[in-house]
Structure 1
């Protein structure tokens, strides 16, 4: 009996213990492995700040050293967040990558985002971190008097390792928008991911100081949307020797004269940026409209299959058909050309309540138009029309955006658009 029992014990031992073989090599886990088989629906990706805006607007002229009566409001803000919200209200569903703190302001921003039916998967909420906050004081006409920004969370936590988690969303996107609040290493990481996958990248400068962050990533940028002084700052950041300048014109009632002056002042910087790899410039000029500067037949959307028409964009396409000069390459795509073209689209009159968010709405309108199948010129016209709706609203992004109204305003803009230069 002892021998069979011994054989049974030996069999049990062999079954329970591993064979005497060398241990397997230690493998580092791949954070992307769980995403390898995930199917991602192409959506535009927006990376940048989500900010709680505190808006203070006095009802009487402010006085230094004391308080005055007025109105103070909490508003969901941040350049990237505003652009993403604007796009969502135009029927385009963006994927947002951002960071907030686990505090009152962060909860406020996330609650609003969820209430709008938008995805929060890409939004990191960090304990013991202050959510980005910007406090602005305006005059009675809506012009900014002073502001203080606390956006350290974006620079400290919106880092490459978080962005890499969403590689599939970025590489499958019809386009990627980055705001310059991102730290330089994150800007570069996102740009390279998009560039290697043929995804067009729009760089939103945010401010004069942060616009200079374009310097190490200019070769990856498809489009950028500066105002006059951001444009010059970007050109100077990329120029080792020649320095570009911009002097604001004194009050001028003649719009044509003002546009001519602005073109003369800004064209050297615009052309320089195109020579340094930027494919498309959308230069915002406030009440003087917008310059569009690019090589003739530039194609912003490299993969039209990722563009999806929405009910909003369908209405715009129908209403804006044939509303620009027939001899102008409206879609700016086709055979390659070395000629550089500059177009001017005018602003349209508005009953101004607040100017905050207008530039973000312009960019959101442009990107939503491009994702919906509109060409560059018409997309910018839609952006200008949305910006007009923004300045007529207390909120950064208007609550109700009417497709018919936007189409009518965009059509008026296109009918007054001009090709300033092409050679």
Structure 2
């Protein structure tokens, strides 16, 4: 498995299944989820995240509802494309690629942020976008769909997660489960806002 996108409760359940025991406590948070800092939440989730990464999953994207998502890996942030060679298989760049690269410059994440698989853990937080919620059903599916469509267009993992969160926002604004169509300009602008606000939560050797 290259990519998994559990929410925090699914993450714990997956880690429990891999360890064959009741090792991890269920995540308990106040009704106001935003009261918990991303750093403290990541610290609580990190043991379960490491179980999945050590089990062979290359990228774990933990979705956090109104707090966005945390992308975690032992690989560098652009390595997913190299692992799958997606653009070579599917022909690569399209209108989505052109719209997003104009707003989310690839050079922001240079080789200095990359590490080889091993003892290093990399985690980046992508914030959610403010939205007037019509309904929440379908937002998670749109996030995953946005990420996958972006990867298939040749965008980096960092750009793709930003697009996924922008796609999830668009889903929150409509009364249907998913939007009937997306405005690429608006999607790219929202992705750019997420991309600009993304922050490294953890980037250290675990040795």
Taking structure 1 as the reference length, what is the TM-score of the superposition?
0.44
Q: 1:309 aligns with which of 78, 93, 98?
A: 93
User: Which residue of the partner structure matches residue 289 of structure 1?
Assistant: 68
Greater fraction of residues in helix: 2
User: Which residue of the partner structure matches residue 177 of structure 2?
Assistant: 396
Deviation readout 1:5-30 (Å, 9 max, x if unpaired): xxxxxxxxxxxxxxxxxxxxxxxxxx
1:360 aligns with 2:144: no
Q: Contact conserved, 1:291 with 1:343, CA < 8 A, in 2? A: yes
Q: Contact conserved, 1:309 with 1:372, CA < 8 A, in 2? A: yes
Higher relative contact order (CA 8 A, sep 6+): 2
Q: Contact conserved, 1:258 with 1:288, CA < 8 A, in 2? A: no
- Aligned pairs for 1:267-416 within 5 A: 267-297=46-76, 299-301=79-81, 302-303=84-85, 304-307=87-90, 308-321=92-105, 324=108, 329=113, 336-338=116-118, 339-416=120-197
Aligned length: 198
Measure the CA separation in 1 of the matches of 2:123 and 2:61: 10
Task: Give the CA deviation at 1:322.
Answer: 5.1
Bigger CA radius of gyration: 1
Q: Which runs of 4+ in 1 moved over 3 A?
A: 251-255, 322-329
Task: Give the CA deviation at 1:323.
Answer: 7.9
User: Which residue of the partner structure matches residue 30 of structure 2?
Assistant: 250
Task: Give the CA deviation at 1:227.
Answer: 0.4
Greater fraction of residues in strand: 1
Q: Contact conserved, 2:140 with 2:168, CA < 8 A, in 1? A: yes
Taking structure 2 as the reference length, what is the TM-score of the superposition?
0.87
Per the alignment, do residues 325 and 416 of structure 1 end up closer, same or farther by CA in structure 2, a change over 3 Å counting? Answer: farther
Task: Give the CA deviation at 1:248.
Answer: 2.6
Measure the CA separation in 1 of the matches of 2:53 and 2:162: 22
Task: Give the CA deviation at 1:353.
Answer: 0.3
Q: Contact conserved, 1:323 with 1:411, CA < 8 A, in 2? A: no
Task: Give the CA deviation at 1:235.
Answer: 0.4
